[in-house]
Structure 1
Amino acid sequence: MSDADLVYQRTFRAPRELVWHCLTDPAEPARFWGPHGMITPPDGIVVELWPGGRFETLMIGAHGSHRMVAVFTEVVAPERLAWFEPASGMRTTSTLDDLGADGTSVVIRQQHVPEAMRTPESRAGFLTSLDKLEKHLAHLVQGDR
């Protein structure tokens, strides 16, 4: 692993299929995608869930907007999802491990991360997106009860 690589790990108390659904259904990322203080409108999300398909998100906040444009390189439901961002050269791979009654472990590996996205502030912002996903999943799981 180089200085330009980052790894995030989080265990969600939700079934792997539900976590996969939230990461891949175009309606779901609007509920959690992006750091705290930013929104991702549903009409700003494109998910063409196959290798070679587009993955785009538009995050909007008080200080402007950011569009992420990527191409899926690997889609193995519900285990692994990977994409490449041509503009930055960054590659992201998310691996979902089924922990049974303990939920789902998600490991996100980012390679060739641009320097601006490696700052402590940017990394903390990324973690708030995972916090938002965790709250969204908890709400969905609670709704099943």
Structure 2
Amino acid sequence: MHQNIVTVPPGADYFTIERSFDAPRRLVWKCYTEPQHLARFWGPRDATTRATIDLRVGGVWLTEWTYENGGSYGYASVYLALEEPERIHYRDCPKDWTGGLDGLPPVELVSTITLSETGRKTEVFVKVVCTSVAARDETVKRGFAGMVGIGHDRLAEYLQSLDQEA
């Protein structure tokens, strides 16, 4: 399974994306949780990504993409749970959120990234839960799953450039 498998169950408020990587789980975990790695694969190919990560429950991770035409786009998420090196659970939050779980505005998306290791491969399972089936359909229509897929493609390429024993 070296391709992205997107599943959109009928009538459900979520969708999933699965992908296998030729790298050990601890290395894939680092790529998702260390800003210097995340910036190398998270986001579109035609943008430069800046990432900051406060890796703790209530901590915020922010990504900002800058395009050659000068445009930019950014978003933030807050960590709800972290189980190293297996699970990252987070939700959307305002870009200027300083951290913590109290006082967050209503949720739009809650995502879980689960990493499981089989030999020297890592299976990545992403589940994105929306507020309703209609919200899920709109999120898929806007290309969210496709963007995750592009990120997965870039992650596979980036992992090949890293020392697998590091």
TM tier, shorter chain? 0.7 to 0.9
- Partner in structure 2 of residue 118 of structure 1: 140
Aligned to 2:61: 55
Describe the superposition over 1:78-124 as per-residue Cα deviations: whole angstroms up to 9, x where unpaired.
000011113562111000001113x1000011111665531274433
Q: 3-state SS of the aligned residue for 1:118?
A: helix
Do residues 80 (structure 1) and 48 (structure 2) align? no
For residues 57-90 of structure 1, what are the alpha-carbon distances to aligned partners after superposition, in whole Å with 9 as ceiling and x for unaligned? 1122348322111110011000000111135621
Residues in 2 aligned to 1:3 and 1:65: alpha-carbon distance in whole angstroms: 32
> Gaps spanning 5+ residues in structure 2: where?
1-8, 95-106
Provide the C-alpha distance between the structure 2 equivalents of 1:18 and 1:12, rounded to a whole number of angstroms: 10
Percent sequence identity over aligned pairs = 28
**Which residue in 1 is equivalent to 2:78?**
71
Number of aligned positions between the proteins: 140
If each structure's helix is expressed as a fraction of its own residues, which one has the higher value? 1
1:114/1:57 CA distance change after superposition, 3 Å: farther
> Pairwise CA RMSD of aligned residues?
2.4
Contact 2:129 2:136 in 1 (8 A): no
TM-score (norm 1): 0.83
What corresponds to 1:7 in structure 2?
16
Give the TM-score of the pair, scaled to structure 2. 0.74
- Equivalent AA in structure 1 for residue 149 of structure 2: L
Aligned to 2:52: 46
After the TM superposition, which of the residue ranges 114-123 and 77-86 deviates more from structure 2?
114-123
